[in-house]
Amino acid sequence: MTSDHKEAIGEVETALLDAELFIKYGSPDRAMKRLKTALERSPRSIPLRERMREIAASHKHAEEAARHCLALASLYIERDDFDAAHDRLLEAKQLDNRISIATGLEAIRRARHPEAKTQPVGKPIAKRARPTVSFAGDLSLISVFDAVQAIENSRLTGVLALTNETQSGRVFFNDGQIVGAESGKQTAHEAFRQIVEITAGSFDFQKSGESFPVTIEAASNTNLILDSLRQVDEESVSGNR
């Protein structure tokens, strides 16, 4: 361990101790300022960011806490700690609903499957002709998570269809909330777990004038996506044993 590295660790520990003293004596703003100064020197320190997140969240600095959640998710993804990354992304969304976590979700999926091939830009992808398609795109350019976010933000009712040479699936929305899914012979949660693994191909969304039966119940689309990714992770780990 180099002297610079030891010094950085020592500074992190000192900053954390100082912050605890400020909290003890009722000065959360001074605690956050002390941690912020330390973060400027050690921006990749997980202990510093975790403590900053905790203090900001508990003292009604939701936007600040959410920003640290997103930074922590990236750091955890780099360490292949996907459960922690999932938790921080979900917390960021809960703290500030305006935040889009689609990029983080896609980063988790691609980190788990670095061998996944994306369609080359410019390669034509056959799309099904649908007269009432609201929007469509290439999954190598726009992830399924971005598409879900757009549908949720617009509170649309309809069907999101995804397809490539080997996979296909459909996700059903009522007022922007995911209520069902189909993929091959699978339905509901099992189908959705397969759909979040689709990384290439095309998608399109067809609006509907009528609501769909509810076969998936979740607190939010974000919860459903993160739970599905976590279950895929668990299945992958158990399958490798």
Task: Using pLDDT thresholds of 50, 70 and 90, give the confidence band for residue 238.
Answer: low
Tell me, yes or no, whether 82 lies in a domain: yes
Q: What is the pTM of this model?
A: 0.70
Are 148 and 92 part of one and the same domain? Answer: no
Are 148 and 82 part of one and the same domain? Answer: no
Are 151 and 206 part of one and the same domain? Answer: yes
Task: Using pLDDT thresholds of 50, 70 and 90, give the confidence band for residue 127.
Answer: very low
Tell me, yes or no, whether 126 lies in a domain: no
User: Residue 157: pLDDT above 80?
Assistant: yes
Q: What percent of the chain has pLDDT over 90?
A: 52
Are 93 and 137 part of one and the same domain? Answer: no
Among 80, 99, 118, the domain boundary falls at 99
Are 90 and 162 part of one and the same domain? Answer: no
Are 137 and 83 part of one and the same domain? Answer: no
Alpha-helical regions (H) of the chain:
3-24, 28-41, 46-58, 62-78, 82-95, 102-112, 144-153, 188-195, 221-239
Are 223 and 151 part of one and the same domain? Answer: yes
Task: Tell me the per-residue pLDDT of 217-228, one tens digit each, with 9 for 90 and over.
Answer: 998 999 999 998
Residue 33, SS3? helix
**Across 165-171, average pLDDT:** 91
User: Residue 10: pLDDT above 90?
Assistant: no
The pLDDT value given to residue 117: 47
The pLDDT value given to residue 7: 56
CB atoms within 10 A of CB 6: 10
More confident residue, 115 or 163: 163
User: Residue 61: pLDDT above 80?
Assistant: yes
Tell me, yes or no, whether 215 lies in a domain: yes
Structural tokens at position 117: 């091939």
Instruction: Work out how many domains the chain is built from and give that number.
Output: 2
- Contact (CB, 8 A) for 102 and 143: yes
Domain of 59 in residue numbering reads as 3-99
Residue 129, SS3? coil
Alpha-carbon distance of 134 to 173, in angstroms, equals 13
Task: Using pLDDT thresholds of 50, 70 and 90, give the confidence band for residue 2.
Answer: low
Tell me, yes or no, whether 108 lies in a domain: no
Are 175 and 229 part of one and the same domain? Answer: yes
Are 95 and 171 part of one and the same domain? Answer: no
Are 137 and 235 part of one and the same domain? Answer: yes
Q: What is the CATH number of the domain that holds 9?
A: 1.25.40.10
Average pLDDT, the chain: 85
User: Residue 124: pLDDT above 50?
Assistant: no
Are 218 and 159 part of one and the same domain? Answer: yes
User: Residue 97: pLDDT above 50?
Assistant: yes
Tell me, yes or no, whether 122 lies in a domain: no
Tell me, yes or no, whether 51 lies in a domain: yes
Tell me, yes or no, whether 107 lies in a domain: no
Among 99, 115, 147, the domain boundary falls at 99
Alpha-carbon distance of 135 to 139, in angstroms, equals 13
The pLDDT value given to residue 116: 54
Are 77 and 144 part of one and the same domain? Answer: no
Tell me, yes or no, whether 127 lies in a domain: no
